[in-house]
Chain A
Amino acid sequence: AQSVTQPDIHITVSEGASLELRCNYSYGATPYLFWYVQSPGQGLQLLLKYFSGDTLVQGIKGFEAEFKRSQSSFNLRKPSVHWSDAAEYFCAVGALFGNEKLTFGTGTRLTIIP
């Protein structure tokens, strides 16, 4: 069965600082990997996704993530955070064939300080 671990429950960074949110997955084959962001009162919004090819993927709002098969990781990064990035971030994994469901991690809450 597929699973996702987000080891950091809460992260605080200063505005303008760089950010890295960790995600580790468990799946027997090449997974589909996703990062979603959830702001208060908003639905989950897709930031980026990885299926195959280049292991560094670019997303919206200046985010990127790197797939590292050897480490079973898909960490999310941003070089300079803005106050509007404060939200909950979820990593998710999907199976390669015949399985449409996403399995989410427990999320990382990001706080931005001025």
Chain B
Amino acid sequence: GAGVSQTPSNKVTEKGKYVELRCDPISGHTALYWYRQSLGQGPEFLIYFQGTGAADDSGLPNDRFFAVRPEGSVSTLKIQRTERGDSAVYLCASSLKPGLDTDTQYFGPGTRLTVL
């Protein structure tokens, strides 16, 4: 079946603008994760959803970042007042159920965000 999809694949914006990044998880997957990968770095955890609720948002860097998953499927990562330091690849992953020992996180191709 289809994997995790993310749109757009590339997003260029200007400093101070608002952006939304979308993630469509694998159908039926209850857990959804957002990571951020800066150039030359490994992915860094941002937030994890179990169903509609954010179970762990400890990785969000500040209050300009917010994510939602209103119906327990598609998720949107929202960034307000973008800064040049927000430029990165934003990765989404999903798993059938939570539990690192019981399931695997499947990653999407990412959205490359460039803030000019």
Contacts and interface: CB of A to CB of B under 8 A. Distances in A.
A103 B45 contact: yes
B31 interface: yes
A45 B33 CA distance: 15
A12 to B, nearest CB: 18
B91 A43 contact: yes
Dominant secondary structure of chain B at its interface with chain A:
loop
Interface residues of B, number: 29
Interface in A5-59: 6, 32, 36, 41-46, 49, 51
Given A43-B108, A44-B107, A104-B43, 11 more contacts: A6-B42, A32-B101, A90-B43, A92-B42, A94-B100, A99-B56, A101-B33, A101-B45, A102-B35, A102-B43, A102-B105
A3 B33 CA distance: 19
B48 A101 contact: yes
Interface string B26-46: 000001010100001111110
A6 B42 CA distance: 10
Contacts of B110: 43
Given A43-B109, A51-B101, A106 B41 contact: yes
B42 A32 contact: no
Interface string B80-116: 0000000000010100001111001111111000000
B4 A106 contact: no
B104 A44 contact: no
Given A42-B109, A44-B107, A107 B42 contact: yes
- Among A41, A44, A51, residue most surrounded by chain B Cβ atoms (within 10 Å): A44
B112 to A, nearest CB: 10
A32 B45 CA distance: 16
Interface in B11-64: 31, 33, 35, 40-45, 48, 55-56, 58-59
B90 to A, nearest CB: 12
Contacts of A32: 100-101
A107 B55 CA distance: 27
